[in-house]
Structure 1
Amino acid sequence: MAKRALILVEGSRTGLLYIQAAQRLGLHPITLSADPAQYDYIVTEEAEAIRVDTDDLDALIDECSRLRATYGIAGITCAKESVYATVGKLCRHFDLPGPDPTSIEQCCDKFTQRQLLAEAGIQVPSYRLATNAADIESSAAEIGLPVILKPAVGVGSSGVRLCRNVDELAEHATYLLGGKHIWRSSPRILIEEFAQGPYYSADIMGDEVIGIYAGEFGPHPHFVFREFTLPAPLTDDEHERIARVSLSCLRALGLGWGPTCIEFRWTKLGPVVIEVNPRLGGAPGPQLVQLTYGLDLVTEHIKLVIGNEWDLRRRHSQIAAARILVPDRDGTLDRIDGDSRAAAIPGVAEVEFYIGPKTSIVRKGDHRDWIGHVIAASSSRARTEAILQRAVDLIDWSITPFPIPGEQEQCAAPQLSAPAQVALDKR
């Protein structure tokens, strides 16, 4: 009998979890990627990867057809939003379980998503669409500053910025339209009201709300996450309201097959939908769910993909939290250490560095600024936070700023360690 393969289109920070879960289920994971070398875990796991243009549906169909001569393809999936609609089309072509590609494409266009949610009576920020600087300026004037400027299609907060005055608005418009931002299609910019209030995110599988996180960002004008906590400190009524709105979003957008991640701000109007992501939430979300509820979302997603029955029962209840490690400056990472000391603390579940010494750091103001994370869990919120803080305090790094031409004294600027960074983050 031919070995059963799980095809993964591209990878992500959760890509390793998908490979490991597939192997536990007796599947042979194969990653199709335009550049397999960008995923270090493929080499570490000695997993199979094939280079193919993942923007070319016909090329993917040809490659999967070729693989069928050797393997039984059990399912096709991915953890990357930008290719998830393509995955849906592949599943339709090979008559495999998968998401509806039309619904995914509508959802991935943030302007279309906003329209569908608003038409369904779901609370979203005021918004406009622009393709040039004049439209951006007039739209911001209509909505009223501050506003958020973001690409209509994109992930990970790339190109997203809070503009508090006309100068910041003009500066970011120039960045987005002036060739510095990489567009996969013609530039289309969403201008939206800045919905202010605590941030929450709901993880959903099918039509079941699995958990609701609380999230905290670093300083504006960017939106770089610094911490996640599961479950969020909500009252029963607040939890129910977010869950109810989440299910309304699925109906409005034609979703409900597989995973969905919905982001909210709790404003004076209650839960306002910031974004619906038609995919599993990225790392460290799946790890937090497993620690909190004993539920492996990646494994259960794969079961759905290969046509098996999933099991979404919670097995226990804890409080889990993750702290994201983010540098405060550009430069060369001289050292980063303390991971083994931090990992040895009881209650610490995971410590991971994404980069090593001698790496050049150029901050982007989005998810690419993350250099690592620490995850902890316990039976109480206060204890989890204490464990997490103790672990982070043991992690240390130093960055030498890049030399500034004509100002050699900048080379001797004081280096900032992780504990000092944490102190700054709390100001």
Structure 2
Amino acid sequence: MTERALILIEGHSGIGVLYVQAARRLGLHPITLSADPACYDYLAAQRSEAIRVDTDNLDSLIRECSRLHANYDIVGITGFSGLDESVYVTVGNLCRHFDLPGPNPASIERCYDKFTQRQILAQAGVPVPAYRLATNAMEVESFAGEIGLPVLLKPAEGSGSVGVRLCRTTDELAEHTTYLLSGKHIWRCSPRILVEEFAQGPYFCVDIMGNEIIGISAGDFGPPPHFVFREFTYPAALTEDDHNRIADISLSCLRALGLAWGPTCIEFRWTTRGPIVIEVNPRLGGAPTPQLLQLAYGVDLITEHIKLVIGEEWNLRRKHSRTAAAWFFIPDRDGIVDWNNTDSLAAAVQGVADVKWYVAPKTPIIRKGDYRDWIGYVLAASPTLAQTEAILQHAFELIDCTITPFADE
């Protein structure tokens, strides 16, 4: 009998290993196609098959999948975005070529371009921040004047808050515009900058599969001008009316953008005008979102996503209801990071589900002002928010993590 294979386009440092493990539990053989498989450490650690291929070239991927089809029954194709969400467009096109379940590539592309996404949502009556699209410094300055400081400057394509900054003064506006246009920020095409109203208020994120809302989390950031998450909590502390209001707007986003298949996460800010959509991401949230959903509700979203991908029946029924949260380690300075095996003490605290480090001890740290500043996190769950926060506080106090400034500072 031919072995059933799941094709994974590229990998993911946070959740890639979870897909490999879940695929195997479902009796599938995971095969990763990547431009550089060596950059995903878990592939070697899991002894998971990986093939080097140009993942920016659809024809190359079709040829490789066709070659694999001679030895495997390819039952599903999915992938990971990393910093380039266009991978999902490729996944959609591959699924259509091989007549497999998958996302609509046109819908994914509409989301991938943040300006186009904004236009579609605004035309559908979905509440979004005021926005303009600029291609040069003069337009940035002019549009910021129209919207009024403070504004956010962000690349029109990308993820992980890379290149995103809050500009509160004309000097900060000029400085970040120069950074984005000077060649320091990596653009896949000609520079396109979104100039956006700063929607102030609590942050929420809605996790969806198909048209079914799985959960709504609350998040908090480190200090401005950057947007680096320092914590996530499931479920968000919302009244029933507020929960329903966010849920209704989320489903309006799906209808407007044509997203009726697969995972989506929608980010909100609750402002004086009510909930405002910050971004619609046509993908599963990265680590530790799947882990938190499983801790909070008993829903293994990665396994259920794979079932959807291979055309099997999937089930998002909650098995329990707890409060799960993640607190992140974020450096407050550049330097050498270190800790003294104290993570084992934190991991032993009752209620702690995981202690994860992204870097090794003695690693030099230079802050980027985006998700790459995370050096680790602690996950915990309990019946109540107060208890979960107490568990995390205790765990953090046990971990002796230090940042020693570089010698020339």
Normalised by the shorter chain, which TM-score bucket? over 0.9
- Contact kept, 8 Å, 1:36 with 1:51, in 2: the verdict is yes
Distance (Å, rounded) in 2 between the aligned partners of 1:379 and 1:227: 18
Moved more, 321-330 or 392-401: 392-401
1-side partners of 2:403 and 2:316: how far apart? 43
Asked if structure 1 preserves the Cα contact closer than 8 Å seen for 2:339 and 2:399, the reply is no
C-alpha distance in structure 2 between counterparts of 1:339 and 1:69, whole Å:
47
> Which of 264, 267, 272 is 1:268 aligned to?
272
How far did 1:85 drift?
0.7
Structure 1 match to 2:388? 384
CA distance in 1, matches of 2:246, 2:88: 25
Aligned to 1:9: 9
Alpha-carbon distance, 1:125 to partner:
0.1
Structure 1 residue 357, shift from structure 2 partner: 1.9
Note if contact 2:230-2:329 (Cα within 8 Å) is conserved in structure 1.
yes
Query: % of aligned pairs identical?
Result: 71
Paired residues, what number?
Answer: 405
Q: Distance in 1 between the 2:37 and 2:396 partners? A: 32
Alpha-carbon distance, 1:396 to partner:
1.9
Residue 159 (structure 2) pairs with residue 158 (structure 1): no
Q: Give the equivalent residue in structure 2 for 1:76.
A: 77
Q: Which deviations, in whole Å up to 9, do the C-alpha atoms of 1:31-59 show, x marking residues without a partner? A: 11111111111111111111111111111
Q: Secondary structure, in 3 states, of the residue corresponding to 1:396?
A: coil
Q: In the alignment, is the contact (CA less than 8 A) between 1:76 and 1:305 conserved in 2?
A: yes
- The answer to whether the Cα contact below 8 Å between 1:352 and 1:373 also exists between their aligned partners in 2 is yes
Q: How does 1:26-425 map to 2 (within 5 A)?
A: 26-80=27-81, 81-335=85-339, 337-404=341-408, 410=409
Q: Which runs of 4+ in 1 moved over 6 A?
A: none
| CA-to-aligned-CA distance 1:156-201 (integer Å, 9 cap, x gap) | 0000000000000000000000000011111100000000000000
Aligned pair in 2 of structure 1 residues 31, 216: CA closer, same or farther (>3 Å)? same
Q: Write the distance in 1 (CA, Å) between the matches of 2:315 and 2:169.
A: 49
Could you list the per-position Cα deviations for residues 3-27 of structure 1 after superposition, in whole angstroms to 9, with x for gaps in the alignment?
1111111111111111111011000
Displacement of 1:388 after TM fit?
0.9
Partners of 1:391 and 1:188 in 2: how far apart? Answer: 43
**Partner amino acid, structure 2, of 1:116:** I
SS in 2 for 1:261: strand
Compared with structure 1, are the counterparts of its residues 321 and 122 closer, same or farther at alpha carbon in structure 2 (3 Å cutoff)? Answer: same
CA pair 336-225 structure 1, distance change in 2 beyond 3 A? farther
Contact 2:135 2:193 in 1 (8 A): yes
Amino acid at match of 1:133: A
Question: Aligned partners of 1:59 and 1:344: how far apart in 2?
Answer: 47
- Bigger shift: residues 2-11 or 241-250: 2-11
CA contact (8 A) 1:336 1:356 kept: no
**1:337 Cα offset (Å):** 3.3
Q: Which amino acid aligns with 1:25?
A: L
Alpha-carbon shift at residue 335 of structure 1 (Å): 3.9
Partner of 1:418: none
Give SS of 1:265's match. strand
Letter in 1 for 2:141: E
- Cα drift, residue 392 of structure 1: 1.3
Q: Supply the distance in 1 between the matched residues of 2:199 and 2:93 (Cα, whole angstroms).
A: 35
Give, as a single letter, the amino acid of the residue that structure 2 aligns with 1:45.
Answer: Q
TM-score of the superposed pair, with normalisation by structure 1: 0.94
Contact 1:335 1:399 in 2 (8 A): no
Q: Is the CA contact 1:5–1:27 (under 8 Å) kept in the aligned structure 2?
A: yes
CA offsets 1:213-243 (integer angstroms, 9 cap, x no match): 0000000000000000000000000000000
Distance 2:371 2:336 in 1: 19
Contact 2:203 2:267 in 1 (8 A): yes
Answer yes or no: is 1:22 the counterpart of 2:23. yes
Unaligned runs of 5+ residues in structure 1 are 405-409, 411-427
Q: Alpha carbon RMSD of aligned pairs, Å?
A: 0.9
Matching residue's letter, 2:98:
F
Q: CA deviation at 1:400?
A: 2.7
Q: Deviations over 1:333-353 (max 9, x none)?
A: 244532211110110011110
